[in-house]
Structure 1
Amino acid sequence: MLNWDALFAPLFICLARISDVSIGTIRIIMIGRGNRLLASLLGFFEVIIWLLAIGQVFKNLDNVASYLAYGLGFALGNFIGISIENKLALGYQIVQIVTEDNLKTLSMLLREEGFKVTHLYASNERERLDFLYLITPRKKVSQAMQIAREFDPNALISVSDVRSAYPQLSHSRGRRWRAILKKK
């Protein structure tokens, strides 16, 4: 006779671990971005789900499949959590571009696409360097990099995360909606 608990428990454990680890991955990213409220809320649900999963493991100590499901759920939860975070692309990143070509032209191309660009000058012992610096939503970083690569395939591009920026960065779309609402 088929024991449904022996089949259901590992499946439940695996799905619960996928859920709690995925939530935990997003929570850790929110902590790194300084989003305390969302991180706390996610942490609450993460722990509740974890307690349900570990409770099933202890209830089924004689079922080796429960242990394997726990490990598999952890591994898949990390993978899925990172995938979700990449799709959400929350926050901002700094894109720095150094090229030997005319940066004013590249700066103009980026501005035409809606990027706010700062052109900076620096020097080392041998030469003067120009580079472009922009802070942009993560969802638009690949677009900025594509424009720079099309302009100069040998451009040096570095990207790093922004925890915070002052004054507060806002999406241009949001300002447009506020302007429309103010008119009414």
Structure 2
Amino acid sequence: MSLVLITLSILGINIAYVSIFTLRLILVLKGKRGAASLFAMVEVFIYLAGLNLVLNNLSSPIHMAAYCMGFGIGVYLGSRIEEQLALGYSVVQVISNSVNTSLPDKLRQYGYGVTSWTGEGRDGQRLVMQVLVKRSNEKRLLERIEADAPKAFVISHEPRHFRGGFWAKLLEK
């Protein structure tokens, strides 16, 4: 095999291996054990093929550089793929600069479940809202909040577990 073909093979195999590794790790963290197990089988097959190729060609620093580059590109590509898949949910907490806002009602009209309560901020009372949203819809929610309440303070994070309430009823259907 030519130097270029071996180098490109090592690069491609490592990109595929590390991308799948990244996705598998994310699936494990999200509790998707079955899908993660399937990814693991494909991942280890690709890994062994790549490792065999690298170990048989250790004399060339170009091959080792291709392996390293493939690893870095694979991490980046795997995280971008996961970002596009947008698995799971986000909790978006919105703190408006006033208690007198129609934002909870607007968000409910858009179809979001909103829990709200009054909080105390540095400059007085604030309305605090919490919205659970599919990660694939989070960007749209944030855009709507920005349009309807541009001065609101917004935080989002991923919940590990939830049960009951608005979402549980939807997920049962």
Aligned Cα RMSD in Å?
2.4
Matched-pair contact (CA < 8 Å) for 2:86–2:135:
yes
User: What is the DSSP-based 3-state SS (H/G/I as helix, E as strand, rest coil) of the residue aligned with 2:83?
Assistant: helix
User: What is the DSSP-based 3-state SS (H/G/I as helix, E as strand, rest coil) of the residue aligned with 1:136?
Assistant: strand
Q: Which amino acid aligns with 2:15?
A: I
User: What is the DSSP-based 3-state SS (H/G/I as helix, E as strand, rest coil) of the residue aligned with 2:93?
Assistant: strand
Taking only the aligned residue pairs, the percentage that are identical comes to 27
Is the alpha carbon distance of 1:139 and 1:65 closer, same or farther for their aligned partners in structure 2, counting shifts above 3 Å?
Answer: same
Q: Which residue of the partner structure matches residue 85 of structure 2?
A: 88
CA distance in 2, matches of 1:101, 1:122: 10
Deviations 1:63-116 (A, max 9, x none): 222111101100110111011011111110000000123565101111111111
Q: Which residue of the partner structure matches residue 59 of structure 1?
A: 56
User: What is the DSSP-based 3-state SS (H/G/I as helix, E as strand, rest coil) of the residue aligned with 1:162?
Assistant: coil
1:126 Cα deviation from its structure 2 partner: 7.4
Q: State the TM-score, normalizing by the size of structure 1.
A: 0.83
User: What is the DSSP-based 3-state SS (H/G/I as helix, E as strand, rest coil) of the residue aligned with 2:34?
Assistant: helix
User: What is the DSSP-based 3-state SS (H/G/I as helix, E as strand, rest coil) of the residue aligned with 1:147?
Assistant: helix
CA distance in 2, matches of 1:82, 1:162: 19
1:171 Cα deviation from its structure 2 partner: 9.8
The alignment status of 1:158 with 2:155, answered yes or no, reads yes
User: What is the DSSP-based 3-state SS (H/G/I as helix, E as strand, rest coil) of the residue aligned with 2:31?
Assistant: coil
Gaps of 5+ in 1: 176-184
**Number of residue equivalences:** 172
The alignment status of 1:145 with 2:110, answered yes or no, reads no
Matched-pair contact (CA < 8 Å) for 1:32–1:163:
no
Q: State the TM-score, normalizing by the size of structure 2.
A: 0.88
Matched-pair contact (CA < 8 Å) for 1:109–1:147:
no
Q: Which residue of the partner structure matches residue 23 of structure 2?
A: 26
Gaps of 5+ in 2: none
User: What is the DSSP-based 3-state SS (H/G/I as helix, E as strand, rest coil) of the residue aligned with 2:97?
Assistant: coil
User: What is the DSSP-based 3-state SS (H/G/I as helix, E as strand, rest coil) of the residue aligned with 2:82?
Assistant: helix
CA distance in 1, matches of 2:80, 2:91: 21
Q: Which residue of the partner structure matches residue 70 of structure 1?
A: 67
Q: Which amino acid aligns with 1:61?
A: L
Q: Which amino acid aligns with 1:16?
A: I
Deviations 1:137-176 (A, max 9, x none): 001111111111112222100000122321494796994x
In the TM superposition, what are the counterparts of 1:111-126 in structure 2 within 5 Å?
Answer: 111-123=108-120
